[in-house]
């Protein structure tokens, strides 16, 4: 049994994979959740094991409640849960709200919002000192989009991340007396596969010159903020949302 277990939803690629790797270096046994890319998840696990750490890959769609329950049961077999990173999230193709189908909105909100709520529910059951747990920390992945709104492009995604901001503040207050801190990061444009999944494989290169720092961020730059929020260094920070956006989210 390892002492501190961390679950990273969507830990197979991008920000989640960087978080899983840094989490292992910080001493967590890491549960690398993924939706379908088993090879990518196994590569993260192999990296962690090569560095002397402990990790397992667990397939599961955070848009499906039964998968979430099974994910946490798999994590229980590693040891007591200390950290949840609600990272799994999706975007869709650029579209105006007038063209958005109910199916599109259902998928967006089910994965990005409901999935984060249900993962937090399972984490609270295990970590809350009011329920016999030892406390812990939850970090949610918001986005600069929550402030920017992304009108004409992805208002559904932006609104899902606005919900994550409110969820973070509300859950932080709910759990502040139960040994669980709840925080979030708001990344700006980060160089990962998510842009290609939304039909814009060249988005990072195209938008970089217009960003305040003239470049996108890296997954590791976001992961470092996540690891700080999870650590004891952040012991008086709850309800805190850190912008990791190279100045983007403070643009008008």
Residues taking part in catalysis: 157
Q: Which is nearer to ligand NAP, 133 or 187 (CB)?
A: 187
Q: Which is nearer to ligand NAP, 61 or 122 (CB)?
A: 61
**Do 251 and 193 contact (CB within 8 A), yes or no?**
no
Looking up tokens 């217009």 gives 210
Looking up tokens 């329950």 gives 69
Closest separation in Å from C-beta 177 to ligand NAP: 28
Q: Which is nearer to ligand NAP, 28 or 157 (CB)?
A: 157
Strands (DSSP E) along the chain, which ranges?
Answer: 5-8, 29-34, 55-59, 81-86, 136-141, 180-187, 241-244
Give the integer Cα–Cα distance in Å for 17 and 13.
5
* Tokens matching residue 77: 């077999």
Closest separation in Å from C-beta 2 to ligand NAP: 22
Closest separation in Å from C-beta 173 to ligand NAP: 23
Q: Which is nearer to ligand NAP, 73 or 193 (CB)?
A: 193
Site residues (CB under 6 A) for ligand NAP? 9-10, 12-16, 33-37, 40, 61-63, 87-90, 111, 141, 143, 187, 189-190, 192-194, 197
Rg over CA atoms, the chain: 17
* Tokens matching residue 233: 């260094």
Closest separation in Å from C-beta 17 to ligand NAP: 7
């Amino acid at each position: 049994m390892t002492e501190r277990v961390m679950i990273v939803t969507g830990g197979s690629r991008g920000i989640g994979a960087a978080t899983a790797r840094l989490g292992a270096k910080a001493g967590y046994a890491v549960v690398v959740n993924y939706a379908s890319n088993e090879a990518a998840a196994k590569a993260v696990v192999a990296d962690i094991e090569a560095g002397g750490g402990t990790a397992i890959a667990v397939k599961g769609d955070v848009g499906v409640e039964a998968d979430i329950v099974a994910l946490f049961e798999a994590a229980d077999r590693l040891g007591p849960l200390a950290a949840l990173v609600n990272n799994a999230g999706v975007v869709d193709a650029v579209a105006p709200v007038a063209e958005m189908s109910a199916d599109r909105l259902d998928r967006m909100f089910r994965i990005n919002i409901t999935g984060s709520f249900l993962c937090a529910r399972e984490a609270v059951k295990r970590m809350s000192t009011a329920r016999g747990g030892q406390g812990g920390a939850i970090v949610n992945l918001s986005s600069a989009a929550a402030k920017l709104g992304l009108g004409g492009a992805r208002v559904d995604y932006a609104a899902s991340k606005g919900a994550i901001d409110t969820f973070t503040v509300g859950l932080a207050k709910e759990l502040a007396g139960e040994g669980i801190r709840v925080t979030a990061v708001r990344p700006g444009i980060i160089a990962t596969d998510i842009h290609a999944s939304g039909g814009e494989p060249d988005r990072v290169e195209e938008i970089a010159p217009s960003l305040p720092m003239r470049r996108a961020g890296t997954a590791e730059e976001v992961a470092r903020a996540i690891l700080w929020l999870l650590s004891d260094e952040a012991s008086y920070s709850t309800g805190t949302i850190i912008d990791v956006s190279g100045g983007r989210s403070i643009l008008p």
